[in-house]
Chains A and B, each alone.
Chain A
Amino acid sequence: MTETERNPESTLATTGALPDPIPTTPPRNKWRDVWDQFKTHRGALVGGIVFCSLVLLVLVGPYFWPFDPTYIDIRARNQGPSLAHPFGTDQLGRDTLARMMAGGRVSVAVGITAMLLALGLGSFIGVMAGYFRKLDGPLMRLTDLFLALPLLPLLLVMMLLFRDPLNSRFGPETGIFILIVVSIGMTSWMPTARIVRGDVLAIKEREFILAARSIGTSSTMMIMRHILPNVLSPIMVSATLGIANAIITESALSFLGLGFPPDFPTWGRLLFDATDYLQQYPERVIWPGMAISLTVLSVNYLGDGLRDALDPRIRGR
């Protein structure tokens, strides 16, 4: 039999078909492409650097700075900027730079934790609503309902109601931290859920999902292996926006006097305390305000760049 004697190469030679081009370079990594696109967005690059250095500063700074944020030196009160106190001191003689760094720790920690909570909740509800058709209606009605809640007033009410029980159980600082993080997380998951649901609905109709289902992939595996990695980019973009949102909300609560207790510095609290001395020492308002604005601005630019970098339609150009 002639056909069994033929090897593939001779077949190729006789039919004259072109062999597939063999790639000489290894395939480009997707994250490499994302990084290349991200680099071209100058605002995002600067935003990322500023945000990372701010986080690094508030994390590492207190180890190198000699003053304790709660140390009261009443003789050195209300000082202007000097070499010993670059940001001056407050009405009790506490060093403003040390308080700024301690406050930044809390603000950034609240921002990141609340964002993670909102993101987890939003992605979970979004994936569930998008993947299981039966859950879609009820979960989306729930999302609409949460979107119709007046959030800032409700947050204020929650602060008022649950502050004391949580304080007595977990101590004043941990209690209010849990309260703020949970209430911000519970009230800001809705945009993420909506975006994720839309993307899941689109991905569910693609061929690779059909292929995966045809080999008997279970729903859990399908979501973990095939759906979640593909909705990662909108989740990452809403993560950056979530940090900005959480930091602003926490500062707003502290500014209205319903956030952290007075001796526990956060950026919003420092701003609130400084407004009382607005006429005499206006620079005290500037430092925490600048810190909040700079963080939020850099995170927003970072999100802008990430959105462009993660969008394959823009990346190709």
Chain B
Amino acid sequence: MLTFTIRRLILAVPTLLFISLIIFLLLELAPGDPMAQVPLTVPPDVKEKMRLALGLGEPFHIRFWKWIVQFFWIEPQVFIDHLIGTSLSDGKLRVISWQTRSPVMDIVVQRMPQTLWVVGMSYVVGVLIALPIGIYSAYRQYSVFDQAGTFITMVGYSIPPFFTGPLIIVIFSVQLGWFPSIYDTTHQVVDWATFKVQLQQMIMPVMVLALQTTAQIGRFMRASMLDNLNQDYVRTARAKGLSEAVVVMVHVLRNSMIPVVTVIALGVPAIFGGAIITEQVFKVNGIGQLLITAIYANDLPMVQTITFMFAVLIVFFNLIADVLYGILDPRIRYD
């Protein structure tokens, strides 16, 4: 198991390098000019100097190498400095955003809590709703509950978040006026009243994202339970005289959770991608919204870094899913 993990970790390095190269090459083809907004009165030689200051003067492979060094070597140093107060990164050049002229990672760190709160909370809520639904609809297969559950998951699967978002804004903000339609990120939680406000503004984005999660994981949980419910060991457990609750909730559930846990791990990066749209609908200024504004503003270092961070998330959670599968299911042997 350990050798497998190490081998996968080593294999992840060329994958990530290749992905970063693809993203970099794609951005290299960008027709947009970061100097386009500079007034025409600025003389051409000054413009050329500004271009050099942005790091655009050098050939492509040198800039790629510089970005790699900045991202993989200097940014971790900054992180270590921040943690234990050393000064490893003093005077070293970090990845700089063209929009704000400040380090990209600082902005990402500022935006991270909003995304993590909304996305993370919605994922937890979605999983917590999905598991009981999946278990019960498998246990009572073809019952009314199962049919209704299947229909609801199908609907959740089919309705995109950019429709559910405006729809529940219309219902709960415009018509009923229960929740605010815009997420206020400057809001600070200090006491019970502000906590209630925070809860109110979080409910709608969390619900929109959770619907997607619930639909996917609920369907998967049901299928996995159905696979296990007809197996011989279940009959044996019943024949031993175990109560139905123990049979289903202990014996069947534990075995059914094996594939579901890996699917939950695999879904984490996808939910970040989905959050791009939800953040846009509810005006949450998280990572997704940062990416969209960077794309509009032609801020290539920012776009490159955020897109690559999404890729890292995907590769990392794929690895976690594979390792989890091996740990949870002793029949799986990678070596």
Query: Contact residues of A with B, CB < 8 Å?
Result: 43, 144-145, 147-154, 156-158, 160-162, 164-165, 244, 248, 251-252, 255-256, 258, 268, 271-272, 274-275, 278-279, 282, 285-286, 289, 292-293, 296-297, 300-301, 304
In the complex, what residues of B have CB within 8 A of residue A278's CB? Answer: 166, 169-170, 174, 181
Interface residue stretch chosen among B28-36, B62-70, B116-124, B243-251? B28-36
Q: How far is the CA of A153 from the CA of B288 in the complex (A)?
A: 9
Top-10 shortest CB links A-B: A150-B310, A289-B163, A297-B158, A282-B170, A296-B158, A255-B162, A293-B159, A152-B273, A153-B307, A285-B166
Report the separation of the CA atoms of residues A153 and B295 in the bound assembly, to the nearest whole angstrom: 9
Q: Which of B274-322 contact A (CB under 8 A)?
A: 274, 276-277, 280-281, 291-292, 295, 298, 303, 306-307, 310-311, 313-315, 318
- State in angstroms the CA–CA spacing of A164 and B298 once bound together: 13
Size category, B interface: 35 or more
Question: Among A268, A279, A297, which residue has its beta carbon within 8 angstroms of that of B162?
Answer: A268
B interface residue numbers (CB < 8 A to A): 15, 18-19, 22-23, 26-27, 29-32, 154-155, 157-160, 162-163, 166-167, 169-170, 174-175, 181, 269, 273-274, 276-277, 280-281, 291-292, 295, 298, 303, 306-307, 310-311, 313-315, 318
Q: Check if B292 sits within 8 Å of A148, measured CB to CB.
A: no
Find out whether the CB atom of B154 lies under 8 angstroms from the CB atom of A156: no
Interchain CA distance A131-B49 in the complex, whole Å: 56
B315 contacts across to A, CB distance below 8 A: 148
Q: List 17 A-B contacts (CB under 8 A).
A: A148-B314, A148-B315, A149-B22, A150-B311, A152-B276, A153-B310, A154-B307, A157-B26, A161-B29, A161-B30, A161-B32, A255-B280, A256-B292, A285-B166, A285-B170, A296-B159, A297-B155
The listed residue (A144, A154, A293) touching B160 by CB distance below 8 A is A293
Whether the pair B157, A145 counts as a contact (CB closer than 8 A) is no
Q: Which of B166, B277, B280 has the most CB of A within 10 A?
A: B166
Task: Known A-B contacts: A252-B160, A289-B167. Give 9 more (CB < 8 A).
Answer: A145-B15, A150-B314, A251-B162, A256-B280, A268-B162, A271-B166, A282-B175, A285-B163, A289-B166
Distance A254 CA – B259 CA, assembled complex (angstroms): 35
Residue with the highest number of chain A CB atoms closer than 10 Å, among B155, B160, B276? B160
- With A278-B169, A297-B155, A301-B154 as contacts: A150 and B162 at CB distance below 8 Å: no
Q: How far is the CB of A130 from chain B (nearest CB, A)?
A: 22
Minimal beta-carbon separation of A245 from chain B (angstroms): 11
Bound form: Cα–Cα A249–B175 in Å = 29
- Inter-chain CA distance A114–B143, complex, in Å, is 38
Decide if B174 touches A300 in the complex (CB within 8 Å).
no
Which residues of B have CB within 8 Å of A150? 269, 273, 307, 310-311, 313-314
On whether the beta carbons of A158 and B154 are closer than 8 Å, the reply is no
